Structures are given as C-alpha cells and as structure tokens.
Amino acid sequence: MSNGTASLPDEADVVIIGGGITGCASAYNLAAKKVSVVLLERGAIAGEQSSRAWGFIRKQGRHPAEVPLAAEASRMWVHLQEELQADIEYVREGILAPAETEADEAAWRESVRIAAMHGLSTRLLSAREVEALLPQMKGNWRAGLYTPDDGHAEPRKATEAFAAAAARRGAKLFPNTGVTRIELANGRVSAVHTRQGTIRAGAVLCAAGLGTAAIARSVGISLPIHAIRLPVAETEKTTPFTQLAIWAPDVALRPTGRNTFYIGSGFHSKSGDLDVTLDALRHFKLFLPRLKENQRLVNIRVGTALLRSFAGGINSNAEAEPAINDEIVERNTRGFRERSRHHAPLGRANRRDSRYDSDHRGASGGGEFLYRGGL
C-alpha cells in the first residue's frame, strides 16, 4: 500500500474508486485474476462507512432478493480470517431479534418463511427459548428471530485486512488520493484524474459509497443514493455478557473483541437524521414511499447540508466529521441500560467526556455515524 510518497502509475487495467470494504474486497479479488488494479481513496482506508457499520453478518430478516447474496457472503466469512491472514474478530454465535408485539412476531414469521425457502437455519424461538438464550436482557418477549450461524466481525479490521491482502497480491492502493474526474473517450472510460495525477484505464469500478452519486452524475448517470445519519455508540470496557449480536425493539448491540459493546438503534426506535439535499429532491418521488413507511424512524432536517449540496461536483477531499445526534445516542444507551441486566460494571454516562473517535455517514440506503462515547 502506498505510504503517500509513491507516485501513481500511468495506467491500470482497472481503477477502483473508494477504499471501503467494497473497494478493498474488489481489489483483492481482481488482483487474484492477474488484472492490474489501482485503488484510489480520498481519505484513509476504511475511513468512512466501512469502519462504522454495526458489524453484523446477517442473513436473517432480509428482503427476499438479498437473501442468496447474504447467504453466499456468510459462507465466505467463515474462512476469511484464515484467508486474509488477519484477526477480523469474526464470531459465529448467532443473531437474535427478540419481539414483544404481535405485529413483530408476524413479521418474524414471514422472515422465517423466506429463510426456509432458501434453506437457511433461521427459526422462530418461543418466549421461553429467547429467555434461555439471553437471560441478561429484560423484555416481555413473545418470540425471537434467531439464526445460529449468523455472526459478526469488526468492519474496520475486515476492510483493512482486505486492503493488506490485496496489496500482497499486487494491487496498488493509494489513500489520500481523491478522484476529481473520470475521462470518457467515445462513450467509454479512458482515464481517472486525481489531484496527484492521471491514470489511463479501460475500466473503473466506482465503490465510493456516498461519493458514488456525484461521481456517477459526472458521467451522466443519476443514482438515487441518500444518507441517513444513524449514531452508533461504543461502551467502555465491560464484561462481555453475550457473544450474540442483538437487534431488539429499542436497542441494537454487538459485543466487540475489545470487551466493549457497540450500541445502535432498535427496530422501533427513532434512529437517525435525513438531511435534505439536492439529491434527495432530485429523487424525491423514488424516496417518498420508503420515507412514508419509515417516517417515524427518522428526523427530516433542512439546513446547511442542502446549501452545501448546491455546490455539486465530486468531493475529492476526505469528508469532515459530521455532527452527532446526541439525543439518539442517549436514547439507545438508555435502551441498553434498561434492557440489560448488566448495569453495574458500566461507568457513568457522560457525554462531555466522550471521545468522538470516528464518525461518518454511509450509503446502502442509509448512513450512520459511529460515536464512541464513554458510558
């Protein structure tokens, strides 16, 4: 991987834009095909969404169209640690989504039906089984959606491991190298421009997360991608009372390899902020049905993001740290404390003392902020 001093090659078979998990995994796999690969990242590898996901490796509760892909990915995760020669904190201890209402139970029943069509191990647990699997969490559980061979891993480590393994296979990775423009010749990609130089390439793989819409628009493709900022908190070190990843009505949690927990919003909590931007307005009709469906889960904000979006163009600089919605972080933290029978070893919540180690927004139909605060 470039340490920032190596100069860009003049050409490559494939240029990948974006050093998140999509770009790094693609570089790793393309390099295995003896294709010359250059990856360009405007900031740090895993500097944006790929270091802020919850880290669930989940087949359950997905849209039917996603299930085959998720199942195939899940099979690959089992061997990744060995294959990439890196500790990515992979744990295969299952994912549990406990339900308290009749409607949620009905939704989980439908998930089990879809899972069965694809031969997954997903099943519906009874209240008693949920209690037995997770005695540390309180709830008037009616049922639980459970997939024993789902799991979790550390997104940042997994992305960095793919990057390092891609480099070992000969891919050239350039962090701090933002793409400013894609050049077309006769309707085809011919070169990629950065502030550090230009690379001729016959193929470009755009894996730029939230930056993808602007890059695509610059070559005449309109993609409906919009961010929703969802905060994620990390506890201080504590007793890892479970190795399950849990998505409950008012809190989500994942044990990390550092004896901490990531805490996010539950499936019924108000979970994030949607900043209205020009892109949101451009694709308003497309977003509207989903927005109506999920209205109570997001705050709609009209502010500086809209003004900034008028500037348009490709942002080739690493994004500045966005604001954190402390109210949501606190609500999720409260959910964790109230649900968990595990209060004592946690420190006192103190937002002012919190460290905001990293945060950002992401694509894939939603974005998130990772807020690491002391509990």
Ligand X SMILES: Cc1cc2nc3c(=O)[nH]c(=O)nc-3n(C[C@H](O)[C@H](O)[C@H](O)COP(=O)(O)OP(=O)(O)OC[C@H]3O[C@@H](n4cnc5c(N)ncnc54)[C@H](O)[C@@H]3O)c2cc1C
Residues in contact with ligand X by CB under 6 A are 17-23, 40-43, 47-50, 53-56, 178-179, 207-209, 211, 215, 230, 314, 316, 362-364, 366-368
Tokens read off for 88: 């990515």
Phi, psi torsion values for 320, nearest 5 degrees: -70, 155
CB of 153 to ligand X, least distance (A): 9
Shortest CA distance to 233 belongs to which of 57, 55, 52? 52
By beta-carbon proximity to ligand X, the closer residue of 140 and 295 is 295
Task: Give alpha helix (H) positions in 85-193.
Answer: 102-117, 127-133, 155-168
By beta-carbon proximity to ligand X, the closer residue of 269 and 340 is 269
Long-range contacts of 103-111 (CB under 8 A, 24+ apart): 104/142, 104/143, 104/249, 104/267, 105/142, 105/143, 108/61, 108/143, 108/144, 108/145, 111/60, 111/61, 111/62, 111/145
The overall longest dimension of the chain from CA atoms, in Å, is: 66
CB of 128 to ligand X, least distance (A): 28
By beta-carbon proximity to ligand X, the closer residue of 118 and 142 is 118
CB of 140 to ligand X, least distance (A): 26
By beta-carbon proximity to ligand X, the closer residue of 104 and 368 is 368
CB of 17 to ligand X, least distance (A): 5
Shortest CA distance to 334 belongs to which of 284, 275, 268, 263? 263
By beta-carbon proximity to ligand X, the closer residue of 61 and 98 is 61
CB of 47 to ligand X, least distance (A): 5
